[in-house]
Chain A
Amino acid sequence: MIELENVGYGYDGAALFSGVTAHLAKGSFHFLTGPSGAGKTTLMRLCYGALAPTAGQVRLLGKDVATLDRDAIALLRRKVGVVHQDCQFLDHLSIRENVALPLSVSGRHAEIAGSDLEELLAWVGLSARAEAMPAQLSGGERQRAALARAVIMSPEVVLVDEPTGNVDWEMSQRILRLLVELNKMGKTVLIATHDMSLIRAAKSQIQARVLRIANGDIQAAGADL
């Protein structure tokens, strides 16, 4: 699903990390952890083609992201659900419209009025808040709405950046349960987080692997958790 081969990335000539190699198989559940500033978000952005690596190769769904033009990357992103830490909504659209946004931009207008959207909103527990505007939602509701938007196109891969950064323990467990459910449906899940309690909670429910990025390198870090 996602293959990183000797991937390097740097800002303004300074290397953030280099020689990163990792393979995320279909249906796997991975955490990406590490200290703040280690490059977790950057690595996530490399995974869905928002950034191009300065060295090495990123293959997403079998395609070398660096060789794709913007149109091809756009089409690839329809198969990859992404949840940012700040959720990134369009503030002038309702939650229902924001969740349906991937359908709108890909021309699948007929499905917007379909029952799948309602089921999805119910799955994340936002049926009653569907007509609310993003600014009216709590942190947990925003995360769940962003997750619904990320999976509305039935992506093969779901990338989530710091899903529990702005929510309490109870809500973080609820979000984790949704992500575990997605994984059980066969989705490949990659979560960037520095929340060790989230990782422990996940490992008690599912076979999750942990990748730790630190000092410019990445390594499997399952044993110490």
Chain B
Amino acid sequence: MMYWLDQIKGDPEANRIVPPSGFTASLTVFTAAVMAFLAVLALSLSMAAGRQAAQWDSALSTSATLRVAPGADAARDLAAALRILETTQGVRSARPLSAAEQQALLAPWLGSAVTLEGVMMPQLIAINSGPDGLDAQGLRLRLAAEVPTAVFDDHQDWRAPLVSAAKRLRLLGWISAVLIAAAMAAVVTLAAQASLAANAGVIAVLRLVGARDSFIEQAFVRRFSLRALVGAAAGTALALIALLLVPAAPSNAVLTSLRPEGWGWGLAMTVPLLAAGVALGATVLAARRALGGLT
């Protein structure tokens, strides 16, 4: 731990002795800014996908539908179904949808001008359950015995793939963030190697006069870490501003907002520090490899 702190703190003499190298400085700052921008967006996407998965799972797991078939016995079946629901464990409320509500559900396909009067329509019952769900197995058995025409739908068939897709999206966001960090490490490594190669003459002189590798390393490591920190801070700030400019989703929207929420802001703020850490590690490895190859 002390070693890494020393590397970040650096040696002012080493910084003065090793001359700053031109293009690698701007390359590192620019790359860190772009990578941090993309990393914050990827993390925001990941967190939004996570929230979406939780939201869909929570909303759909507490609602279900019972469909009573039309026919001569429809009224009797509806009453029987409601009676069964009243005594089913976990059911908080059960309400038959009105004709207008059922028509509204069909409006996207049939339009609002079509009247359903005289059409044999199944009667839908909207069921709300508690957070622990309802006894679906027991309900299905009782319905089969007492109202065989009723069909219970707990939305499981389409809820599961939807939630799974949202979770995959969250995973992809994290994988993207890791790949971005890896790409940044690669670019910093290249920049550090270029800088070390450009300073091969300086390194040879330092070695000639008895400089230890740690002394030479520090000049490069601190320089690249600070550049990555500055660049990543700028990229993160730009990304957060961009996210703030994205309109917030209304509370009843199907899709959640991309803006981070709660601890997500804190996570985004750590991106510059993580970038500096990645740059530090990449430069240490590059410096050791380069110094190992020089006499």
Contacts and interface: CB of A to CB of B under 8 A. Distances in A.
Interface of A: 45, 50-51, 70-71, 74-78, 82, 84, 88-90, 92-93, 101-102, 104-107, 109, 149, 153
A101 B13 CA distance: 10
Given A51-B295, A105-B13, A153 B210 contact: yes
Of B207, B208, B209, B295, most A-chain CB atoms within 10 Å: B209
B204 A74 contact: no
A112 to B, nearest CB: 9
Interface residues of B, number: 20
Contacts of B202: 90
A93 B201 CA distance: 14
A109 B16 CA distance: 13
B281 to A, nearest CB: 21
Contacts of B19: 90, 92
B210 A102 contact: yes
A106 B17 contact: no
Contacts, number: 61
B213 A70 contact: yes
Contacts of B206: 101, 105
A77 B208 contact: yes
A104 B212 contact: no
Q: What does DSSP make chain B's interface, helix, strand, loop or mixed?
A: helix
Of B204, B208, B211, most A-chain CB atoms within 10 Å: B208
Contacts of B214: 71
Interface of B: 13, 17, 19, 201-202, 204-215, 291-292, 295
Contact of B17 (A75, A78, A93, A149): A93
B213 A101 contact: no
A75 B205 contact: no
A206 B201 CA distance: 36
B209 A149 contact: yes
Contact of A74 (B13, B212, B295): B212
A131 B214 CA distance: 29
30 contacts: A45-B295, A50-B208, A50-B295, A70-B212, A70-B213, A70-B291, A71-B212, A71-B213, A74-B210, A74-B212, A74-B213, A76-B210, A77-B207, A84-B208, A88-B201, A88-B204, A88-B205, A89-B205, A90-B17, A90-B19, A92-B19, A93-B17, A101-B205, A101-B209, A104-B17, A105-B209, A105-B215, A106-B210, A106-B211, A109-B13
